[in-house]
Structure 1
């Protein structure tokens, strides 16, 4: 009875007033109360032995150099640097909630697109997909005026467009039905060149040039061996005579 009364008095002193630093009964290793806080807050207290005890405490950080945590949930804002020795694995994500997004733009970011596939979303819509073989696939925004921009200051930039379909009836098709080539600088000639020009649908090119010495205009003159043809057909052979010879089984010359 006397021991129980002493326990009650000690608990009231510690929990109610918090002024007791430590206390223990005469029997060792039965129970103890330890307080490291200023009254009336109790920082921690223990009841029982070292192997069989009840403990309560408040901590603002892990009091060990290493710890294993099964799961952890964090709400609010976390500041500071986080260094991870292993992998950081995120959820697969969705189009409207990517795995990696931004605090002020939660539907824009990166997500998992399948086995070995990465997707990038803008405003909840996939705009770039990197396939498993590393090839990018672009899904364009309706408001975009420049769908693909490539830049290289080293001067060795080139674009290779391959038609992966072997069928001859599947050529390269452009939405604008043309290819626009712009002369960018003095080092770019602005010409569309090919090793094999083939006419189609009876169309005639407005101008073609290969080396600058052969020029053809639809409404102009044709020059062979000259860059400034005077007549409709101007042949400069380089010889003293400017005569031209025409031969054939049925040749007709008219003026």
Structure 2
């Protein structure tokens, strides 16, 4: 299956900036501890002139249990940095960042980029809330973080961790029959089992892979036992499921069985 563009973006993000840590990108003041107190509610005359004028998300996606995203921010002329908070679902403790930016003398505004990643994300839908607060650091080190943020919300479906996994067990129950039983776990909802048979003809030097067919969890396959060292087929049986969301599972395969060729 071809990866969607957002997933390609995610892989690029994870290989670079995002994997600097789920706690965020440090600036000159360092990252805020995960358990630090939230932004205060103090008001000042300066805060009446400070705001986040722009906040964007250029990508927010999930893959293999990791949610990651990135974007940009811009603050008004009276601010020179930004304070970021990221909430995943109902977690009361956000991931936090203090981020410096680049000053544009033509507009008087400061702008920069943000990035966020978090691992061990469970299967299903998740909500990420992004808060950006205007922040000013004066030349003497005094800090002012204003209490009113600009907020964006994104919903992400974590599917990489949702793929069901399967196993298969096969054994000969008679001279002509192989019986296989499949099992599945993970994914979402109920499963629909499918079987596929493949054979490799030693005598004809041909291989054939049959289509997937919906069959019960336990299925019987014809394979007449043979002791010939030259006149036989090699048969193998493959099992997978599709869950209630349409997500296909991993494929499990049986051992190879030596069978008398079908005339």
The bucket for the TM-score relative to the shorter chain is under 0.3
Q: Which has the higher contact order (CA 8 A, sep 6+)?
A: 2
Structure number with the higher strand fraction is 2
User: Considering only CA atoms, is the larger Rg found in Structure 1 or Structure 2?
Assistant: 1
TM-score w.r.t. length of structure 2: 0.22
TM-score w.r.t. length of structure 1: 0.23
